[in-house]
Amino acid sequence: MVQIEENMLFFYFNHALTQLAECKTSLKRIENFLSITEIADDCTLSDMPEYNKRFNTFIDIKNLTCIHKSGFQILSDVTLHANDKDLVAVCGIVGSGKSSLLLAMLNEIKVTSGTCYSKGKIAYVPQVPWVFSGTIRENIIFYNPLDEKKLELVIEACALKKDIASFPDRDLTLIGENGVILSGGQRARVNLARAVYADADIYLLDDPLSAVDSNVRLQIFEKCIMGVLKNQLRVLVTHDIQHLERANHVILLERGRVARQGNYHEVIHSAEIEFSSVIQSPSTRLTAYKGNLEVSQQISKTAENLFSEITSLDMAEEDRSFGLVSWKTYWRYISAVLPKPLVIFLIFFFISATGG
């Protein structure tokens, strides 16, 4: 009986230490978040240009310059106008400022000069998808009222129907911590489906098509971006030339600046050199794919040879120690989490509580 009580004491003591450590980390994160400087939202309807007031939904950016919190300038003199039902395609090489432009529309980065106005409810689909522990359905509806017909439409538009059908509990399947049972492409599509289900007026889509194959990419573009969302204002970061041809407005960024903008034909004819470096033709993508495939095959062969060499070697026996863990080890573990006076107090407290 005494041994059971001691085991329970150590169990609860260890659990209490773990909870205290997690609490300390959480409080630190909350403190860091609350100490961040607020970004003033000075966007008022009376300040907006007269020609935009007649639209229910729009984005109006004029001579916008933004800096990172480190002081580095990430956008410079950007001007962009988009209205109801427009599809705006944003392209550029890595680091050209595409994601920063979307964050500027969300008022999430510091503006040093220029203006950035928007009107309408905004839904943002980040390039790195975010999911939480729960079911697929919970991740899509995200505490909004459940509409089964709408949910089915969104699942079909985001190319999730076959994926969900492969799970034993369909959309009620628990995805685990950080969506551990989902692939990268599935997480990206769940992330997109959540935004679509939210019924926003403006959709900021940060390259949602990069994590899926060509067939799924085409389905999402046709059924979701050009289908379910056809009546919304959409800003799409993309690198595929076939998608740019369908856009109302194309903006090409280079080092945080607008290199070219207009419709697809205007941009591609006035910026052939810059555009070709950003957008790959189908033949170029096929050549790159074949090259990557050859490299992957070489790596696989090398790995197989290495594995066969390792398995053919005599494995040395592991060094093992038997016996109880010393009190000194426990003391170092506990004192690394809590101050030593508090550890001593807790030890005496638990001893007295158990009648020791």
pLDDT per position as a tens digit, 56-112: 888 999 999 998 877 788 899 999 999 888 999 998 888 888 999 999 999 888 888
The number of domains in the chain is: 1
Pairwise CA distance, residues 106 & 109, whole Å:
8
Confidence of residue 229 (pLDDT cuts 50, 70, 90): very high
pLDDT at 254 over 50: yes
For residue range 187-198, list pLDDT tens digits in order: 999 999 999 999
Q: Is residue 215 situated within a structural domain?
A: yes
Q: Decide if 288 is inside a domain.
A: yes
Mean pLDDT of the chain: 78
Domain with 208 in it: 19-121+200-300
Q: What is the CATH number of the domain that holds 268?
A: 3.40.50.300
Q: Greatest CA span in the chain, whole angstroms? A: 86
Residue 167 maps to a domain: no
pLDDT in tens, 141-193: 998 999 999 999 999 999 999 999 999 899 999 998 888 889 888 999 999 99
233 in any annotated domain: yes
**Residue at 154 is within a domain:** no
Residue 323 region by backbone torsions, left for phi larger than 0, else alpha for psi between -120 and 50, else beta: left
Residue 40 lies in a domain: yes
| Average pLDDT score over residue span 2-23 | 69
297 pLDDT more than 80: no
Q: For residue 83, tell me if it sits in a domain.
A: yes
Q: Residue 108's closest CA among 68, 147, 148, 61?
A: 68
In a domain, residue 232? The reply is: yes
Please give the pLDDT value at position 308.
45
pLDDT at 223 (0 to 100): 94
